[in-house]
Structure 1
Amino acid sequence: MTELAANARVSTLSALKSPNFRLYFVGQLVSVSGTWMQNVAEGYLVFKLTQSELWLGLVACAAGLPLIFLAPVAGTIVDRVPRRKLMMFTQTAQMILAFISAYLTFSDKIQVAHIVVLAFCLGITNALDAPARQTFVVEMVGRDDLQSGIALNSILNSASRVLGPTAAGLALVQFGPAWCFLINGLSFLAVLISLFFMDVPYAIKYVAGTPPLKLMREGFEFARRHEVVAPLLLLTAGVGLFTVPIIRLFPAYAELVLHSPTDGYALVSAAQGVGSILGGILVGWLSHRLGRGRVIGVSIILGAISTVLFAYQSNMALSAFMCTLTGVFLILEVVDINTLLQAVVPDGYRGRVLSLYTLTFLGLAPFSSVALGALATWLGTSEAIGIYGILGGVMGLAVIFRWRSVVRQR
C-alpha cells in the first residue's frame, strides 16, 4: 500500500494549512486565469484571421514542439536546480511574451505567423515550468498533504478555466483580444510576488555530480521498467493525444456547430472549467471509496461517451452540460494518475518522471491537434470530435486491459 493510500482520509483542503501553499494558490489563481484569458483570445484571433481549424492546430503544434525535444532535458534541470528560482525565471519570460502579443495586437500588426512564433517561445518556457510546478507542490506541503496539494492544484487550474474564459468572453465582446493579452501579462505579477515571499519547507535535495545524459537515461529506464509508472504515462499519453486537443477546436465548434463564435466559445470553455472544479472536489471522496485505479477506469469510459455526445449537440444548454461532464471525467482521471505517479516516484527521480508526464500530457496534444484540425476540415467539426472521443476511450481501455494492476491501485 502506498503512503498516499494510507493517508486517504486526508481532507482535500488540508494543504491550505500551509501559509506557503495559500500564497502560491492565490498567486497561481490570478496568473492561470490570465493565461486562460489569453488562450481564449488567441484561439478567437487565429480563427478570425484564418477561418481555418487547421491553423488552430498548427498554433497548438508550435506550442508543443519544444516540449517534445526539451522535456527530457528539462527533467534533469528540474532535478538539479532550485524549483522556486526556476519558476520565477519561466514566469517572467511568459509575462514578456504576453506583453509582446498585446503590443502587436493593439498596433494592428498581428499576423498568424507572429502567433505561431510566440506560441513556440511559450512552449520553450512551459517545458521547464510545468515539471517544476508539479515538483514544487510536494516541496510546499510535504508528503502527508501531497494528495490534497495535487487536488487543490487541479481545482485551481479548473477554477481558472472558468474565471479566465468568462472574463475573456466579456473582454472580447467589449474591448477585443489585445486587452486579454495585456491583462494576462499583468497577472504574472501575482505569482512572481507570491514566489518571492514564500519559503520552501520541504525542499527536495538537488541531484548533483551526475552527468546530465546519465540522469536522462536513468529517468527513462526507471519510467519504462516500473510496473505502475509505465502504464500511467501511457494513460496520460491517451489524454494528451485524444482529449486535450479537443479544447483547441472549441473556437471552430462554437462558430460552426453552435453558431455563436464569442458567447458559445466562452460558454463551452467555462462549462468544462466548471466540470473540472466538480471533478477536483469529488476526486478525493470517490478515490477513497472506489480506489484510484477504478476511478481512472470508469472515467475513461464515461469521458469517451460524454465527448461523443458533446460533439453533436447544437443546443447551447445541452452542449454546456455535456462539456461539463467531459471536464468532470477528465479531472478525475488526470488527478488520480498524477497522484499515483507522485506516490510511487522517489524524490531523486521526481523531476525527470514529471517531465515525461508533461511530455505525454502537454507535448503530444499540439501534434494531435494538427491531425484533429485536418480531420475537422475534411469530415466536419462534430465528426472529428466524436472520432477523437472514441479513440481516447479505446486507447485507455487497451492500457487498462494490458496492465490490469492499474485498476487495483488504491
Structure 2
Amino acid sequence: MLRALRHRNFKLFFFGQLLSLPGTWIQMVAQSWLIYRLTDSAVLLGLAGFASQFPVFLIAPLGGALADRFSRHRLLIGTQVASAVLALSLAALTLSGQVEVWHVFTLASLLGVVNGFDLPARQAFTVQLVGREDLPNAIALNSSAFNAARLVGPAVAGVLVAAAGEGWCFLLNGVSYATVLAALLAMRLTPTEKPIHTGSMLEHIVDGIRYVRGHLPIRSLLLLLGMVSLAGMPYAVLMPVFADRILHGGPQGLGILMSCAGGGALVGALLLAARRSPRGLGGWVPWAAFGFGLGLVGFSLSRNFWLSGVLLVPTGFAMMVQMAASNTLLQMMVPDALRGRVMSLYSMMFMGMAPLGSLLAGSLAEVIGAPGTVAGGGALCMLAALWFRRRLPQIRGAIHGMGGAGPGAPAADGRGAQPVDNARRPEPQSGAPDRPS
C-alpha cells in the first residue's frame, strides 16, 4: 500500500501535501459559510463555486501545455506561492472586518486561475517522482492524502468558524502552504530533457486535444468524468443549505457532513492504494459512478442529520473510486510527451465542469429546492454510468488494440498526434498483451 513512499522525492511531496491539504479544506468550508452568512443565498453559493473553479476550465489547456514544455517542479513552486498570497489576503480582509462579497469572489477567481496552472503540472509531475511502475500507487496515495485532509479539514473548520470566525481559517490555510514549498525545495531531481517544440503554444494545445479525440478509452473516461462533475459534484456547493435549513446542524453540522463524505473517499483511496495492478479498474469506473449517483439520491431524500451523514460515507467512497481510477487509467495510457496536456483535460473535466454545475445547481435550487436539485444530479450520474458500462466492451477492445502509447502518439517533440479512433480497431486475438482496463 505504501510502496511509492520508497522514492525520496515522492515521500517529501506526499508528507508536504498531508500537512498542507487540511488547510485547503478548512478554507473551502469557511469560504462557503462566509458567503452564506453574508448573503443567505443559494444562488450566490453556486456563483461562488463557479467563480473559484471555472477559471480551471479556461486556463488548464495552457497550464498543461506549459507543463509539457517547461519544468513542472518550478511551475508548482510558483503556484504554491501564489495560493498562499491569496489565502493570506482573504484572511487579512476577514480578520479586519472589511471583507465584502466581491472580495471573496475576486480572490476565489484568482485562485481558480492559479489552479488552472497547478493541477496539470501536479498530475504530470507524479510520474517524474516515482516512474511508471509505482505510478498507480502514487496516484492512490495522493488521493489518500487529499481525502485524509477532507476528513479532518471540514470538521476543524466547523469548530473554528463557530468559535473564532472564518478569518482564522483563511490564515491557517495560508500558513500551511509553507510545508509544500519546503518539500518542493528539498527535492533532489534528476535533470530531464524536455522535447524541443517547434510549433506555437496554440498548436501544442490543439495536438493534445486531437490526441484525446482520437482515442476512444481516453475520450470515454473524460466524458463520463465531465458528466459526473457537472451533475453530481455541485452537491457540495449546496451543503450549507442542507446543514442549515434542512438538517439544522449549523456550521459544525456542515463540517461533520463534509467529513463524512471525506471519510468514505479516504477508504476508497486506500482501497485503490492496496491494489497491486491497475488491471480491471475499467470495470470499477461505471459502478462507482452509478453508486455515487445513487448515494446522492438517498442523501437528498433524508431529513435526519445522522442518517444523512451515514449516507455520505458510501457516496464519498464511490466518488473517489471513480475519480482516482479514471486518473490512474489515463496516466497509464498516455505518453509522457503529452501527459501535461491530457491531464489538463482531466482537470477541465474534474474541476472545470463542476463550476458550471454549481451555477446551474444554485439557480435550480432557488426554484425546486436543494433536495430536488441534488436528486436530479444523482439521477444523471446514474444514466451516464449506464452509458459508459454499455460501451465498456468496446473500450476494452480499444485498449487492447493500443500498442505502447497507442496509435497517434506524438513524435519526440510532442507534435503529430493523429485522430485515430480506436473503436475502429479490430478486437485483439487470444494471447494479446494485457493492458489496464
The normalised TM-score by structure 1 is 0.93
Q: State the secondary structure of the residue aligned to 1:200.
A: coil
Check if 1:342 corresponds to 2:349: no
Q: Contact (CA 8 Å) 2:27, 2:157: kept in 1 or not?
A: yes
Aligned residue among 349, 365, 371 for 1:376: 365
Aligned residue in 2 for 1:398: 387
Q: 1:245 to 1:200 in 2, by over 3 A?
A: farther
Q: 2:141–2:273: 8 Å Cα contact kept in structure 1? A: no
- Long gaps (5+) in structure 1: 1-11
1:190 aligned to 2:179?
yes
**Aligned match for 1:255, one of 244, 249, 263:** 244
1:274-293 equivalence runs, <5 A: 274-284=263-273, 291-293=280-282
Deviates more, 1:395-404 or 1:356-365: 395-404
CA RMSD of aligned residues (A): 1.7
Are 1:50 and 2:39 counterparts? yes
- Distance, in Å, in 1 between the alignment partners of 2:235 and 2:104 is 20
Q: In the alignment, residue 138 of structure 1 is paired with which amino acid?
A: V
Q: Cα 1:201–1:327, aligned 2, differ >3 Å: closer, same or farther?
A: farther
- What does residue 313 of structure 1 align with? 302
Corresponding position of 2:412: none
Q: Deviations over 1:198-223 (max 9, x none)?
A: 12348573553332122111101000
1:69 to 36, 58, 63: 58
User: Which secondary structure state, in structure 2, belongs to the residue aligned with residue 230 of structure 1?
Assistant: helix
Confirm or deny that 1:35 pairs with 2:24: yes
Q: Which residue type is aligned with residue 280 of structure 1?
A: A
Equivalent residue pairs, number:
399
State the shift of 1:146 in Å.
0.2
Moved more, 306-315 or 113-122: 306-315
**What residue in structure 1 maps to residue 116 of structure 2?**
127
Q: Percent identity?
A: 36
Larger Cα-atom Rg: 2
In structure 2, how many angstroms separate the alpha carbons of the residues matched to 1:289 and 1:80? Answer: 28
Number of the residue aligned with 1:169: 158
Q: Which residue of 2 aligns with 1:300?
A: 289
2:353 matched residue in structure 1? 364
Partner of 2:428: none
Does residue 1:117 correspond to 2:106, yes or no? yes
Q: 1:59 to 1:165 in 2, by over 3 A?
A: same
Deviation larger for 317-326 or 37-46: 317-326
Matched residue, 2:139: 150
Structure 1 counterpart SS, 2:253: helix
Contact 1:294 1:407 (C-alpha < 8 Å) held by counterparts: no
Matched, 1:329 2:322: no
Alignment of 1:180 with 2:166, yes or no, is: no
Q: Kindly tell me: are residues 236 and 315 of structure 1, through their superposed partners in 2, closer, same or farther at Cα, counting changes over 3 Å? A: same
Alignment of 1:2-41 (within 5 A): 12-41=1-30
Which residue number in structure 1 is paired with residue 417 of structure 2? none
8 Å CA contact retained: 2:278, 2:329: no
In the superposition, the TM-score normalised over structure 2's length comes to: 0.88
Which residue of structure 2 lines up, in the alignment, with residue 92 of structure 1?
A: 81
Which amino acid is the alignment partner of residue 338 of structure 2?
Y
From 368, 376, 380, the equivalent of 1:387 is: 376
Distance 1:51 1:255 in 2: 10
Q: 1:239, 1:392 within 8 Å by CA — same for their partners in 2? A: yes
- SS of 1:364's equivalent in the other structure is helix
In terms of mean alpha carbon deviation, does 183-192 or 74-83 score higher?
74-83
